[in-house]
A and B are shown apart, each in its own frame.
Chain A
Amino acid sequence: MSLLAVNGVSKAFGSLQVLRDVSLEVQPGQRHVIIGPNGAGKTTVFKCITGLLPADSGSIAIDGTDVTGMPAHSRVSLGLACTFQKTNLFSELTVEENLHLAVTARKPYRFRIWKPLSWYEDLQRDTRELLQEWDLWSRRRHRVDELSYGEQRILEIVLALASKPRILLLDEPTSGMSPAETARTTSLIQEMPRSVALLVIEHDMDVVFSIADYITVLHHGEVFLSGPPEEVRGDERVREIYFGGGARPHA
């Protein structure tokens, strides 16, 4: 059974049909990349999957559980996590405080109203492990708005990983990064354990082909083509979408 199944999802904003009958599947441990020109509806697919936007029709299932009408926070408890295309952090808080909020989300004491949060040993331990693993430990006392852009993008991923997801949705993880930062982020993504399946939106074709083992091409809100990387790379029509047909190339 696939870990994530999107079935015939459509979404319109007013009279603008953004998604038309979109279906895709993510298998456990898979690296599934969604590509497509600007305005193809990639981020909207993400928002429908995470529940931050309701789908107009169609269904979404996580590991066989229908989550179509489920609020976003319940989907997280089923193992779904996401990052945002535009950096979306707690910019006034320190790196460590950001992590505290992310880690607490899956702790049983998240509703507790007496003992100070900083007293929970397991929280401190989990936070330290994540920060050390992602090389942000030395930056933990800094406010997020003091970090470099690349570090903020990494923190974006670390926050999502804090909930120990089974499926992680990354929305353009390398957007706006310098070539060096892009290379580093790409290798970090490649090194992620296979216990986490990835669904990634990416424009940079080098990044796409170095991480993907399955690609879905979205065009005008519809699935245009999906298949293994070799198949998509060789497809004339995909090149047409990206480099011909008036669409702006990104790679």
Chain B
Amino acid sequence: MIGRLSGRRVPWPGVAVLTLLVLLLPLVLPPFGVGIATEVFIMAIFAMSLGLILGYAGLVSLGHAAFFGAGAYTVALLGQYVFNTYLLLLSATAVAALLAAISGALFFRSTGAYFLMLTLAFSQVLFAVAFQAEPITGGDDGMSVVAVPDLGFGEIVGELGLYYMMGFAFLGCYLLLRLFVASPAGKVVKGIMENELRMRALGYNTFSYKLFVYTLAGAMAGFAGALYAYFNFYVTPDLLGWVLSGQALIMVIIGGVGTLLGPALGAAFFIVVQNYASFYTEYWALVLGLIFIIFVLLGRGGLMHLLRAVWNRTLPSRFREREDEMEPEEPAAEHQKERTP
């Protein structure tokens, strides 16, 4: 059976479908579509990282752009002296991870709205630093990125080259998160979201798990920011600002909280609508805002929920629920065991 390895369910069908999508999409896209798709992959990584802490750990952050912007600025600043793409990507991820670990350790004493305000304040502090340190960062005007991506087989300059670089980065991040949410630590994180007191009573150091998942999400956001610097050739303080954090939240909610692929879908939806709507009207934000309100009012499932409903209705029952995001366990394997205890 597809998707089973030694009798257990693995996420390969989803990954295979996504890989094909990344590989073949440029064939059907209009010329300007490749650039949009490239941006979608980057924002999808960013949105998935926020979706991880929001939907799997219950941490609502309004400052997630802090890590995205920190990653982007790391590439812009360090890229003036270092040219190895791997080293730059790694540095950007590490800087963002460090910032997330420190801020998380400080902020986890607070919960709910207070935590949200602290994350917002933290990102605004970084914004102010980028804004004020004009000799280094170019201040409000931002700075151009001189580093050119080179993964070991020549400089990636063409549109299609960037597309595949971001596409595979997205696939890698998705796979990593898929493994994480099914892993022991991922399940524990989910348990902490459900009932932290009970998890402590069961013997879990809940603080360390929350800090880990927050750091992982921050690192991934920093990675996305670094990719964005390569994609956009230019960074501005807006990449650290609360508007971008808010947009990421909208992507996650439109796509579906509590799912992995939902936020990526939300990012695609957001970027595409933004590009098309801004083509026709300068009030594109209004259009997106209305769509967002509709999604919030219609329930929390988001696009992912809608897709699943359509999927379940159109496919014969024996194919149903194969792509269930929340339940990586395969019940059939258990039934076999039951018969031979």
- A positions within 8 Å CB-CB of B: 50, 52, 71-73, 76-77, 81-82, 84, 88-93, 97, 100-102, 104-107, 109-120, 124, 128, 141, 159-160, 162-163
Contact = CB atoms under 8 A, between A and B. Distances in A.
A72 B194 contact: no
Given A90-B194, A116-B179, A105 B8 contact: no
Given A50-B201, A101-B188, A118-B329, A113 B194 contact: no
Interface in B188-242: 188, 191, 194-195, 197-206
Contacts of A124: 334, 337
B194 A73 contact: no
B138 interface: no
B191 to A, nearest CB: 4
B329 to A, nearest CB: 4
Given A88-B197, A90-B191, A73 B203 contact: yes
B158 interface: no
B197 A52 contact: yes
B194 A163 contact: no
Interface in B167-181: 179-180
Interface of B: 8, 10, 179-180, 182-188, 191, 194-195, 197-206, 328-331, 334, 337, 341
A196 to B, nearest CB: 16
Nearest to B181: A116
Nearest to B328: A116
By DSSP majority rule, is chain B's interface helix, strand, loop, or mixed?
A: helix
Contacts, number: 104
Contacts of A89: 195, 198
Nearest to B330: A118
Contact of B183 (A97, A117, A128, A162): A117
Nearest to B182: A116
Contacts of B201: 50, 52, 72, 76, 81-82, 84, 88, 160
A110 B204 contact: yes
A11 to B, nearest CB: 18
B177 to A, nearest CB: 10
Nearest to A101: B191
A115 B183 contact: yes
Nearest to A120: B184
Given A101-B202, A109-B184, A116-B179, 8 more contacts: A71-B205, A72-B201, A104-B188, A105-B204, A114-B179, A116-B329, A124-B337, A163-B202
A82 B203 CA distance: 10
Given A88-B195, A88-B197, A116-B8, A76 B183 contact: no
